Amino acid sequence: MPSILAIESSCDETSASVCIDGKILSNFIANQKVHEQYGGVVPELASRAHMQNIVPVVDAALKTANCKLETIDAIAFTRSPGLIGSLLVGAQFAKSLSLALNKPLIAVHHMQAHVLANLIADPRPDFPFLCLTVSGGHTQIVFCESPYEMKVIGETIDDAAGEAFDKSAKLLGLPYPGGPLIDKYAKQGDPGRFKFPEPQIPGLDFSFSGLKTSILYFLQNAGKSLVYKEEFMATEEEKKNFIENNLADICASIQQRIVTILLNKLTKAAKETGITDICIAGGVSANSGLRKGLEETGKKHGWRTFIPAFEYCTDNAAMIAITAHYKYLAGDFADLSANSSARAEW
């Protein structure tokens, strides 16, 4: 059974993990605080921070797992999708290790890894299952037949769910990434106080850009209208006071709308496919409203629901390691010519 060292560097987290016999022994994550002041990830700074973090992070993952490099059977890395400069740091590091140690290389798709994070710990879903993958860059419903066969059956046509959280937070004057802060303030708020519209998108696809626009107008009108109305136009001072006085209710209402958009499509997908093992994955699956909503919706429809542990929801190398474990078993190795790619093709 394989011992795998996995590296994830697709965006702004540098992470390394050791997985032996399909068990995660370490999962080390270095966050990059440098982006906070810019209100979003700055690709150039992310690549530089990966360069600084990667050696200590890999070292810490090996030490925590009590594992020596010589005993590793394969080196895995995130090949795509992500920021190209960030991906290249992890890929080059993994390739160098593979070459120096003469060990096979495994290239992993970041979005498939988010889905397979659900296989890290018990209880695990049975195949086939559905996974709603919701992150800063993606919103997908994935039909998962086996660790090797997955199909995207619904996805966003504009913003991702994480972006919807982060962009809404920005409009409220909250720092990046705003998703966790909306979650925090929403806990004290009334989700029924403000009613944001649900987009009417056919099939299993999602759209979040209309929500962002209605929040913008809602704030410009100091809560009096969801559409642009000049007669309600608030001054910057009135807008600021309105947000300050109603922050918890605004956050709870925005969160409620994003969560219902996600769960309504997931319910439709479950009905259409007849599948009852339902998972969520990706950074937004850390959202407490979504976690609670999934549980409630699952109870109502007789689903078995699965959510990875918090540390396996946001970007992490353990999900790359578990995916690589299955790839190793299938003999699916990459060679040194494996190209990193910013794009998300499966």
Residues that bind ligand KG4 (CB under 6 A): 11, 135-137, 162, 165-166, 177, 179-180, 183, 282-284, 286-287, 314-315
Q: At closest approach, how far in Å is the CB of 278 from Zn ion?
A: 19
Q: Residue holding tokens 């000049």?
A: 230
Query: Is 115 or 144 the residue whose CB approaches ligand KG4 more closely?
Result: 115
Residue 12's binding partner, choosing from Zn ion, ligand KG4, none, with beta-carbon cut-off 5 to 8 A by kind?
none
Distance separating alpha carbons of residues 151 and 337, to the nearest angstrom? 26
Query: Is 305 or 314 the residue whose CB approaches ligand KG4 more closely?
Result: 314
Query: Is 162 or 293 the residue whose CB approaches ligand KG4 more closely?
Result: 162
Binding site for Zn ion (CB under 5 A): 135, 315
User: Residue 50 has which token pair?
Assistant: 């990966």
Query: Is 162 or 223 the residue whose CB approaches Zn ion more closely?
Result: 162
Query: Is 20 or 29 the residue whose CB approaches ligand KG4 more closely?
Result: 29
Q: What dihedral do alpha carbons 140, 146, 151, 156 form, nearest 10°?
A: 0
Q: At closest approach, how far in Å is the CB of 147 from Zn ion?
A: 18
Among residues 117, 125, 163, the alpha carbon closest in space to that of 326 is found at: 117
Query: Is 159 or 315 the residue whose CB approaches Zn ion more closely?
Result: 315
Q: At closest approach, how far in Å is the CB of 32 from ligand KG4?
A: 12
Distance separating alpha carbons of residues 18 and 58, to the nearest angstrom? 9
Q: At closest approach, how far in Å is the CB of 123 from ligand KG4?
A: 22
Q: At closest approach, how far in Å is the CB of 284 from ligand KG4?
A: 4
User: Residue 57 has which token pair?
Assistant: 């992070």
By CB neighbour count within 10 A (0-12 exposed, 13-18 middle, 19+ buried), where does 23 fall?
middle
Residue 286's binding partner, choosing from Zn ion, ligand KG4, none, with beta-carbon cut-off 5 to 8 A by kind?
ligand KG4
Among residues 110, 99, 104, the alpha carbon closest in space to that of 5 is found at: 104
Residue 165's binding partner, choosing from Zn ion, ligand KG4, none, with beta-carbon cut-off 5 to 8 A by kind?
ligand KG4
Q: At closest approach, how far in Å is the CB of 311 from ligand KG4?
A: 11
Q: At closest approach, how far in Å is the CB of 315 from ligand KG4?
A: 4
Query: Is 179 or 298 the residue whose CB approaches ligand KG4 more closely?
Result: 179
Residue 22's binding partner, choosing from ligand KG4, Zn ion, none, with beta-carbon cut-off 5 to 8 A by kind?
none
Among residues 2, 1, 9, the alpha carbon closest in space to that of 94 is found at: 9
Measured from each CB, the residue nearest to Zn ion is: 135
Query: Is 98 or 285 the residue whose CB approaches ligand KG4 more closely?
Result: 285
Helices (H), the chain: 43-64, 84-101, 110-116, 161-171, 179-186, 209-220, 236-273, 288-301, 318-329
User: Residue 34 has which token pair?
Assistant: 């440098």
Measured from each CB, the residue nearest to ligand KG4 is: 283
| CB atoms near residue 151 (< 10 Å) | 11
Residue 166's binding partner, choosing from ligand KG4, Zn ion, none, with beta-carbon cut-off 5 to 8 A by kind?
ligand KG4
User: Residue 322 has which token pair?
Assistant: 């578990």
Among residues 50, 8, 33, 235, the alpha carbon closest in space to that of 135 is found at: 8
User: Residue 331 has which token pair?
Assistant: 């003999």
SS3 content of the chain, % helix, strand, coil (to 5): 45, 20, 35
Q: At closest approach, how far in Å is the CB of 62 from Zn ion?
A: 23
